[in-house]
């Protein structure tokens, strides 16, 4: 498998011919699709064996040229390349070819144009701040890799700017590639030309018009799977904690949300709902029978994913998230979730939180995180004890974060196709239902993270139970 490389040009950079020579010599490149937006300049291209020359005898601009180049290409793997950069293509193209399965849009890390790295590798751009930084003139779009089968054409009204913004919104998860070489570019060699300012101003207006049409989040749907019976390691006073958890939903500052309680064949949940919450129009309820043992009974563990899937069938919000029956929502939980989703609804499908509140007792143990969000513990209305905000650390070299695969830290667009399912030893899925769902959720959708502690973990098996 090899690459089709698409290069629009107006022949304004002294780097273009050297770039073509390097790509022509690269064994991973099958064809170079050169789209000439200024055919008035006569350039001798006879030395290039892989080059295919195309022009419409006028300047069609860069974004339409990308669309045309993808249409003309014969390979699944596409590289979109600026004409004013120089780099050694073998290292980069080989890495992408080896690692392209499972990756979405790959662009250049901003640091590639400033320094070398010890080894080649990628940073997953999941924080919206990172995404915006790399797109704002910092090199991401100078060299990008996508798949032809995933290509969504850039709207015709966008001529020069916002092509890379459009690509990352429609071609899966976003990755910034960090290389061992220092790449070179003047950046904006063509687009900075004064005669193009009118076109760019029109692009700005068209982009604002397009993005203003993006659906805004108006409702968050919380799903609570509930089984309040006793089992090894279960929380104490499960009925009181269930009532407390539901009350934390009721007390949300933002009332335009809903809670869906799904009783996993639990009569205690059924009675408490009918007694306390049946008349609340913001709270929905479903009861499902089960014909398998409880999760911690018997030799085979049965992890129940179907109750949450049943809950998803009842949601009316644009965004779905989850909470446990013994935990607690901060009063601004819905407000902060909506804020993050509304600011970047089109950029991702899944949002995972890397920060939450744990009880002060957590630090008697070695847990899966090692950073405090705030060095001082706080009191929380409605809960006993002191609470620390905690967060997962970034790897200092890669910038990667090991997400906690817990549904209470995850929200997603309600329309996604990834489904919950039961897992157990009999169906050869030997992991819990939440880990199983999270693995598939993160693989099948665009993922971003937020760092706002809005959820309180009140119970951790054999460690604390508040």
E strand or H helix at 439, and its extent?
helix 433-444
Mean pLDDT of 303-310: 89
Name which CATH class applies to 220-465: alpha beta
Q: How confident is the model at residue 395 (pLDDT cuts 50, 70, 90)?
A: low
What average pLDDT does the segment 457-463 reach? 85
Is the per-residue pLDDT at 371 higher than 80?
no
pLDDT level of residue 394 (50, 70, 90 thresholds):
low
pLDDT at 299: 61
Q: Which of 124-133, 212-221, 408-417, 449-458 has the lowest mean pLDDT?
A: 124-133
Spell out the residues 6+ positions from residue 159 whose beta carbon is closer than 8 angstroms to its own: 61, 62, 63, 64, 199, 202, 203
**pLDDT at residue number 396:** 54
pLDDT range class, residue 207, cuts 50, 70, 90: confident
Q: What percent of the chain has pLDDT over 70?
A: 84
Q: Which residues, 6 or more positions from 201, have their beta carbon under 8 angstroms from its beta carbon?
A: none
- Fold match, 3-212 / 220-465: yes
pLDDT band of residue 112 (cuts 50, 70, 90) is confident
**Cα angle 182, 188, 191; round to 5:** 155
Residue 154 DSSP label: P
Q: In CATH, what number does 3-212 get?
A: 3.90.550.10
Tell me the pLDDT band of 276, cut-offs 50, 70 and 90: very high
What is the structure's pLDDT at 16? 96
* pLDDT > 90? residue 457: yes
Contact 311, 222 (CB under 8 A): no
Q: Grade residue 173 by pLDDT with cuts at 50, 70 and 90.
A: low
The answer to whether the beta carbons of residues 152 and 63 sit under 8 Å apart is no
Q: Where are the beta strands (DSSP E) in 181-330?
A: 184-185, 220-226, 257-264, 283-288, 302-303, 319-322, 328-329
Pairing of strands 257-264, 283-288: parallel
pLDDT at 367 over 70: no
- Going by C-beta distance under 8 Å and a sequence separation of 6 or more, which residues neighbour residue 36? 9, 11, 53, 54, 55
Among residues 156, 109, 168, 169, the alpha carbon closest in space to that of 133 is found at 109
pLDDT (mean) for 248-266: 93
How many H-runs (helices) and E-runs (strands) does the chain carry?
A: 11, 26
Tokens of 452: 């706002």
Mean pLDDT of 24-33: 97
Q: Does the structure show a pLDDT above 70 at 365?
A: no
* pLDDT greater at residue 346 or residue 323: 323
Backbone angles phi, psi at 67, to 5 degrees: -60, -45
User: Contact 258/219 with Cβ under 8 angstroms?
Assistant: yes
Is residue 127 over pLDDT 50? no
CB 400 within 8 A of CB 394: yes
Both structure tokens of 239: 């009925």
**What confidence tier does 89 reach under pLDDT thresholds 50, 70, 90?**
very high
Mean pLDDT (whole number) for 398-424: 83
Higher pLDDT, 465 or 26: 26
Per-residue pLDDT tens digits for 44-62: 999 999 999 999 999 999 9
State residue 128's pLDDT score.
47
Domain ranges of the chain: 3-212, 220-465
Q: What number of other Cβ atoms are within 10 A of residue 39's Cβ?
A: 15
Say if residue 317's pLDDT is above 90: yes
Query: From its phi and psi, is residue 237 left (phi > 0), alpha (psi between -120 and 50) or beta?
Result: left
What percent of the chain has a predicted confidence (pLDDT) above 90?
A: 48
Mean pLDDT is lowest, of 84-88, 118-122, 244-248, 460-464, for 118-122
CA 80 to chain centre: 22
Dihedral of CA atoms 341, 345, 348, 354 in degrees, nearest 10, equals -10
Is the predicted pLDDT of residue 223 greater than 90, yes or no?
Answer: yes
**Pair of tokens at residue 313:** 């069938």
Give the range among 71-85, 119-133, 191-205, 414-428 with minimum mean pLDDT: 119-133
Task: Say what the alpha-carbon torsion angle 294, 300, 303, 306 is, to the nearest 10 degrees.
Answer: -80
Average pLDDT of the chain? Answer: 85
Asked whether the predicted pLDDT for residue 450 surpasses 50, the reply is yes
- Per-residue pLDDT at 454: 93
């Amino acid at each position: 498998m090899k690459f089709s490389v698409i290069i629009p040009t107006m022949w304004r950079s002294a780097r273009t011919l050297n770039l073509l020579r390097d790509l022509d010599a690269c064994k991973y490149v099958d064809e170079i699709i050169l789209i000439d937006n200024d055919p008035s300049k006569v350039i001798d291209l006879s030395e290039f064996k892989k080059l295919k020359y195309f022009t419409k005898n006028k300047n069609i601009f860069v974004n339409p040229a990308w669309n045309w180049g993808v249409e003309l290409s014969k390979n699944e793997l596409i590289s979109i390349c600026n004409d004013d950069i120089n780099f050694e293509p073998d290292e980069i193209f080989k890495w992408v070819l080896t690692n392209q399965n499972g990756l979405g849009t790959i662009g250049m890390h901003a640091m590639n144009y400033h320094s070398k790295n010890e080894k080649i590798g990628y940073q997953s751009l999941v924080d919206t701040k990172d995404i915006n930084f790399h797109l704002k003139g910092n090199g991401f779009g100078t060299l990008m890799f996508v798949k032809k089968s995933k290509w969504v054409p850039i709207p015709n009204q966008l001529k020069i700017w916002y092509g890379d913004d459009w690509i990352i919104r429609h071609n899966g998860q976003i990755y910034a590639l960090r290389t061992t070489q220092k790449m070179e570019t003047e950046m904006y060699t063509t687009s900075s030309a004064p005669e193009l300012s009118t076109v760019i101003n029109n692009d700005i207006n068209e982009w604002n018009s397009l993005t203003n049409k993006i659906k805004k989040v108006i409702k968050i749907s919380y799903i609570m799977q509930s089984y309040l019976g006793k089992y090894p390691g279960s929380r104490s006073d499960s009925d009181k904690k269930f009532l407390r958890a539901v009350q934390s939903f009721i007390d949300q500052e933002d009332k335009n949300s809903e809670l869906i309680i799904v009783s996993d064949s639990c009569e205690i949940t059924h009675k408490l709902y009918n007694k306390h919450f049946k008349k609340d129009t913001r709270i929905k309820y479903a009861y499902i029978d089960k014909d398998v043992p409880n999760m911690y009974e018997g030799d085979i563990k049965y992890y129940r994913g179907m109750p949450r899937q049943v809950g998803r069938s009842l949601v009316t919000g644009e965004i779905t998230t989850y909470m446990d029956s013994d935990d607690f929502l901060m009063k601004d939980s819905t407000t902060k979730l909506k804020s993050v989703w509304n600011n970047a609804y089109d950029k991702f499908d899944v949002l995972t939180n890397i920060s939450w509140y744990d009880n002060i007792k957590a630090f008697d143990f070695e847990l899966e995180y090692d950073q405090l969000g705030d060095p001082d513990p706080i009191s929380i209305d409605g809960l006993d004890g002191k609470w620390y905000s905690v967060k997962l650390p970034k790897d200092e070299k890669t910038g990667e974060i090991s997400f906690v695969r817990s549904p209470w830290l995850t929200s997603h667009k309600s329309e996604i196709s990834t489904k919950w399912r039961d897992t157990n030893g009999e169906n050869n899925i030997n992991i819990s239902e939440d880990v199983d769902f999270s693995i598939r959720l993160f693989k099948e959708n665009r993922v971003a993270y937020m760092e706002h502690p809005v959820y309180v973990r009140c119970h951790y098996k054999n460690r604390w139970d508040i």
